[in-house]
Structure 1
């Protein structure tokens, strides 16, 4: 355990050095919403809405060959809007784009495009197969957890509290179950908490884990070290609201809500599992290679992460008070 603590603490130190001052803000999921309203005689009207602080132009769109865009007008002739629509810049400037098609006399249909699936096929009846939903939302979930440094730092902190494989599996499972519950509850509209207090509390959860790790390292009484699954479950409920914030920004197709929610959560779990396995794999390689670093790195890493998480909390709390 001591060897793993030292190695993970050094990883924390490296991560601390890589984090910039802009990390006080929560992970942004830049998205664009395109609403397509059907007019008459194969004419459609386009309207873009932006959810990004980094871009001021919408993604480029490649329409089916028989369609011609003169924004905000789209002409598709007698065939209407059917065929493949592609946004090649998705995954570069934007994490996702939500396209809502409103046809006359029919319920609206929503499509989500991501870097892993930047295209959609519009059919006359507007059906969206589950494979298309999976291809859109699994990569989106992976991206969100991988770019959510605060979530990953919390998971990394949990790894410092566990003893053995069984405890590791129980702890990660508890975190997964907890954030899945609140992600579903918030996305389905059963409960709701504003993003700013959630993000501030997520930063605070990292501080709490760091304090527990330091207490455990000093040999002090620490409930979290004996029952790490408990703190993982408790704070996992909080982190689930953070994931739900990303989902609300991206937008969920109401007609495919359960499938979209499921596949987004699958993506989050895939990314989280990949992160844990990567950390454990690097730790094993560190042991095999018998790499040595100065002893002070162990303490500096965990204190550095605690300091950055505190900075995040102060910045996010200040932003909350400013509203």
Structure 2
């Protein structure tokens, strides 16, 4: 098997097996603590599901709090959630909160702390930093940075979004057209993300995810029917196609952000940070893909694929491979909400 086929198999295997094995497994956990007065706090804890079982991570509040650990969680169809009240004498400001087991995972936990005076603190915990000291007051930069990290993480684990971008890279060979298509995609999903997060638009998430997969099937068909002398719709009007599908993919980003939650007092900052993170992740993926592609083109045997016929064969292979994976996702997602 030649190197091009190996590359195709590796990419598509990663996308397919990653989607099956890690669906919802790497979504961030979410912890919300709200001061109710008289040193009483309301705690909401949401942790990802791994093969329908709760991920082995646990909240640990300061020992002086009553009920410092969560009760038995319940499954809400997407994740495992628990809600309870606790009382911490003197409040939580300056105290340490830890997510036990987080250091052994590859997920993050977003923490929102709402003090009695209405101030929100937003902290992103990772495997390297599984605990934090509750601040007296959070800064705008902390909120922005936390949501930037979540945006990068979401796009790099969003195999369907990355496969869509990868198919666009294969279809559009002109760098300026590619730049225009990526810009249009960015603008479109930014608009939808903002509209949904602000409550102006709403669509059910499961049908949206199925249609997102269908958008990748469309690009796979475009790849398979590609002819150098007969440009396809996505090649003639790449900005229109990418903008249209970008609006759709924005609903997917918004769904993830809605599940995570947005701070009331820093809504615009958090929204901007998440969107910036998505774009950073997308650009990292494009840069990595183009770098690998360039490296392969510099190998001595790359000349074997330089002819029009060889390029046509490689495009077909990628088109059929992308089509197979995206069609599987369509069927899987329709079955998920239709049964």
TM-score with structure 2 setting the length = 0.79
Structure 1 position 227 matched with structure 2 position 223? no
Q: Residues 9 and 302 of structure 1 are in contact (CA less than 8 Å); yes or no, is this contact kept in structure 2?
A: no
* Inter-CA distance 49–304: structure 2 relative to 1 (3 Å threshold): same
Answer whether contact 1:85 1:119 (CA < 8 A) is retained.
yes
Q: Is the 8 A contact 1:112 1:133 kept in 2?
A: yes
Measured against aligned partners, the alpha-carbon deviations of 1:122-158 in whole angstroms (never above 9, x if no partner) come to: 344xx32111112211111111000000000000000
Question: CA 1:11/1:62 → structure 2, altered by over 3 Å: closer, same or farther?
Answer: farther
Following superposition, the deviation at residue 183 of structure 1 comes to: 0.6
Range that drifts further, 200-209 or 7-16: 7-16
Superposition deviation, residue 90 in structure 1: 4.7
User: Structure 1: how far apart are the matches of 2:337 and 2:229?
Assistant: 36
The alignment of Structure 1 onto Structure 2 pairs a total of residues equal to 308
Q: Residue 50 of structure 1 aligns with which residue?
A: 46
**1:306 match:** 323
The equivalent of 1:3 in structure 2 is none
Which is bigger in relative contact order (C-alpha 8 A, separation at least 6)? 1
Question: What is aligned with 1:34?
Answer: 32
Which aligned pairs between 1:29-178 and structure 2 lie closer than 5 A?
A: 29-40=27-38, 43-45=39-41, 47-54=43-50, 55-56=54-55, 58-61=57-60, 63=62, 68=65, 70-71=67-68, 76-78=88-90, 80-83=91-94, 85-87=96-98, 89-90=101-102, 92=105, 94-103=107-116, 106-107=117-118, 109-115=120-126, 121-124=133-136, 127-178=137-188
Question: Which residue of structure 1 aligns with residue 288 of structure 2?
Answer: 278
More deviation in 214-223 or 185-194? 214-223
Distance 2:269 2:188 in 1: 19
C-alpha RMSD of matched pairs (Å): 3.1
Q: Give TM-score scaled by structure 1 length.
A: 0.82
- Contact 2:8–2:318, Cα closer than 8 Å, also in 1: yes
| Kept in 1: contact 2:102–2:108 (CA 8 A) | yes
The verdict on how the C-alpha distance between 1:46 and 1:291 changes in structure 2, with shifts beyond 3 A counting, is farther
- In structure 2, runs of 5+ residues without a counterpart are 70-84
**Distance (Å, rounded) in 2 between the aligned partners of 1:16 and 1:57:** 29
Structure 1 gaps, min length 5: 1-5
Partner of 1:188: 198
Displacement, 1:194?
Answer: 1.0
* Deviation string, structure 1 residues 1-45 (Cα, Å, up to 9, x no partner): xxxxx99886443222334457269953242333344453xx434
